[in-house]
Structure 1
């Protein structure tokens, strides 16, 4: 199930604070009221919720957005979940269950058939321990705490900066209070699995 927002127009005072808080451009003021004008842009993160002084915005499940985007068998790939960037993934997403693949950004570009080899039909989150803000990785604590994750597969590059990904995941699991098994796969610079 995918989360999106719903606006109670009877509570909306048209201040526009939610529109400013929505970094995806999903909201706009229409006739003096906030409206979800681009539902497919809503990432379900809820940045607009705390911005609303009238408590006019709430989360709802959206079955339509939960449908796979690509239905053609020659175009689809396993793991059709979106978004996949750690910065954009909602920590309360219904797709985050079972085995979770946490991959360094570069890995999918170095391994042939990355999706078939690692992702299959499981949820995936990607990030870069060198370039992403470390605070973003704190979101992993909430993901582990709030979702029925049964195992984690960390896929990282062999370069030294990438080893931090496994350390960040281990730390987040510990801080979540859960005991989730972690498997680490290291990819060489030439794309072979070490």
Structure 2
């Protein structure tokens, strides 16, 4: 059939993966460091991926393409993410290579992806969420991080020093677009982690919302302090 569908300019694509994260249908994936339309029948032609692309590499075209298959998309959402990774939104799928031992802690992660720069602002798991924003290193420094902080929360992680990014704009969009019930920040005691705190404080102020907010600081030897 002739219909509207997205077109990806691979020469412009910078391989950031933001379009794949924004595509709720899972039509887009990453291959060879570039975004590709992997399933034409998964593309609904609405273009949620367009505003997510910082390189303006995505546009619409009208051409011969398979019809949008909503049923196939619904089935795929229980198995994979747009980027092709296994979905962590469903705990029904267990992939353990060995029986769980008494000393093995179960993951409390409830969604994927977790990187601030990859999540979609309008992801359904943000609605009514208790949001955890954490510096990458905290999960390694704090031995009981999953049970203490991730359990019952939607988790976002990042490192402003490695990403060379100001997360305040993305976090502002998330807070504005969703009904967030509470905010928890977990950062390391090192100075560069101060950017995580300032970004979240700025985002909260920009959102104009009054959301309960707490900050925890993790020392390099694993001690946790509430600010």
CA deviation map 1:85-104 (0-9, x unaligned): 11111111111132100000
Instruction: Identify unmatched segments of 5+ residues in structure 2.
Output: 18-27, 32-36, 81-88
Select 2:185's aligned residue among 133, 140, 154. 154
Select 1:91's aligned residue among 101, 121, 139. 121
Structure-2 change in CA distance of 1:151 and 1:16 (3 Å): closer
Residues 45-194 of structure 1 correspond to what in structure 2 (within 5 A)? 46=49, 47=52, 51-54=58-61, 62=74, 63-64=77-78, 65=80, 66-68=89-91, 70-71=93-94, 74=100, 76-96=106-126, 97-194=128-225
Distance (Å, rounded) in 1 between the aligned partners of 2:48 and 2:192 = 28
Give 1:3's aligned residue. none
Q: Which moved more, 1:93-102 or 1:147-156?
A: 93-102
Instruction: Identify unmatched segments of 5+ residues in structure 1.
Output: 1-7, 29-33
Q: Secondary structure at the match of 1:139?
A: helix
TM-score (norm 1): 0.73
Distance (Å, rounded) in 1 between the aligned partners of 2:175 and 2:220 = 30
Q: Secondary structure at the match of 1:79?
A: coil
CA deviation map 1:77-121 (0-9, x unaligned): 112311001111111111113210000010000011211010103
Aligned length: 174
Distance (Å, rounded) in 1 between the aligned partners of 2:117 and 2:134 = 13
Distance (Å, rounded) in 1 between the aligned partners of 2:5 and 2:198 = 44
Report the RMSD for the aligned CA atoms in angstroms. Answer: 3.5
If asked which structure has higher relative contact order (CA below 8 Å, sep 6+), I would say 1
